[in-house]
Chain A
């Protein structure tokens, strides 16, 4: 029954440390150059939205793609990031960066709390609780008018305050290029850190929980604790993305934070490729840019998302990443066939 022992070459490749520097360098260069390639103010704005969506998709992917927990509440955490930052800056004259830090911590804590409730139970409780959370968050935004101004919205929001490092000229973020470099840069850092985290034993643990909680427990993994952990980190990152949203748009209304937003994030993660690192990035970029290229669709946009989501889940669950892999495989078969 024993199969052949491992060949030394195979063994060596399994023990090889993965190197990502080349890809990261390319990404950094892309972030630096994109605002000059796409130089209209309109497209530069799209770039900022792309960067935020990339962060949101990565945060949801951590919870949904890697830990396998259904989460419909990301819009709520995005909202916490946006509103806490804005209210602290506008009503209490806080420094933007301090406010953003608090907002991220708030979002993470709320995420942890929510997860702590629902996560000890089996089944779909967490998914439903997250849905309830998204609905309630939206209602709070609408009704707590003394703080959030409700439907009227908050106006005149400034972009992130300038950073003054002694010895260097002041770094302002009032122009779209600098703002994109800021948000894009942060998205890049988030990507690298999350990628490291998921490549570490933590990633192995989360994937084990996704695949089979009971046998994960039989390996010493505490499913409740790790699901809550993933939820907390995911919600904090969503909050981080939210901090930059109001400054970019200039106004803040509750309508930007409904279930539709949660759903759009889910579509990005799944259509891009759930459970991979690059999938959500691709999905975020595609689903942000495509509607802009097809402006006429308007109302049909969501219907297309819904259809895309259903079809992907049914027929190509690995999303665009899986499609890419299949194409590459067929390509290499074709070319190796041709060379014969």
Chain B
């Protein structure tokens, strides 16, 4: 059974039709790439999937359950996490504090211990910090754990966002142009991390512009153009399809 199913999603802003009639299925334990030239509506689609935007019409289901209309923060509880195209870190907080915020839905502390800490509180405190440090190690930022997030280099900030989102222990992890602004070696590191995430049993959806990343890592590719469905298939099929080539050449070279 598909993990995430979208049917006939539509989204307009004022008069502009950003997303028209998009239907897709994401299979579990795969990496699903959503690509298209600039302005294709990829980010908007991701926002619809994550609940940041609500569709004008269409339906969305996750794990068999309808989630259309569910606000973003509730989708996280169901196991959907995401990162943003424009980096949205908690700049004044340390790296570790950023990641710790991601454990929000997983705390199990009796209410009164928030006011007067007891053993359950400290147990949770330690466990979250250990797990947080592990996540920072996963993205290679552990030695900067107590630094202010705003002081990181751009590529490092992207990785921190990934670590933070992973703290929610998602089933489905969606990334919005994670490679934007990264240099060659950073992209390689990112690719490896995505594969590792998939290996951990987390399904990945990537909106991406960068063809290299997509070809190297994706199991399934979905192409959009001007808000509409263009083509879908394996990376090889997509690369060879004339419509896709035309769309990219006509729009922008990747």
Contacts and interface: CB of A to CB of B under 8 A. Distances in A.
11 contacts: A4-B143, A6-B133, A10-B146, A14-B129, A14-B133, A201-B107, A201-B124, A204-B101, A212-B90, A214-B88, A219-B76
Interface of A: 1-7, 10-11, 14-15, 17, 193, 196-197, 200-202, 204-205, 207-208, 211-212, 214-223, 275
Contacts of B155: 1
A215 B115 CA distance: 26
Contacts of B229: none
B88 A2 contact: no
B144 A11 contact: no
A11 B131 CA distance: 12
A201 B133 CA distance: 16
Interface of B: 50, 52, 71-74, 76-77, 81-84, 88-93, 96-97, 100-105, 107, 109, 113-117, 121-122, 124-126, 128-130, 133, 136-137, 140-146, 155, 161, 164-165, 167-168, 185-186, 188-189
B197 to A, nearest CB: 16
B133 A205 contact: no
B103 A201 contact: yes
Contacts, number: 136
B84 A211 contact: no
Contact of A217 (B72, B109, B143, B144): B72
Please provide the 5 A-B residue pairs with the shortest distance between their CB atoms, ordered closest to farther. Answer: A220-B76, A2-B140, A211-B90, A215-B88, A220-B105
B133 A11 contact: yes
B189 A2 contact: yes
Nearest to B94: A14
B141 to A, nearest CB: 6
Contacts of B73: 217-223
A204 B143 contact: no
Contact of A5 (B92, B114, B142): B142
Given A215-B84, A219-B102, A220-B104, A208 B90 contact: yes
B90 A14 contact: no
Contacts of B146: 10, 14
Nearest to A11: B133
A200 B128 CA distance: 11
Contacts of B90: 207-208, 211-212, 215
Contact of A3 (B81, B97, B140, B165): B140
Contact of B143 (A1, A6, A214): A6
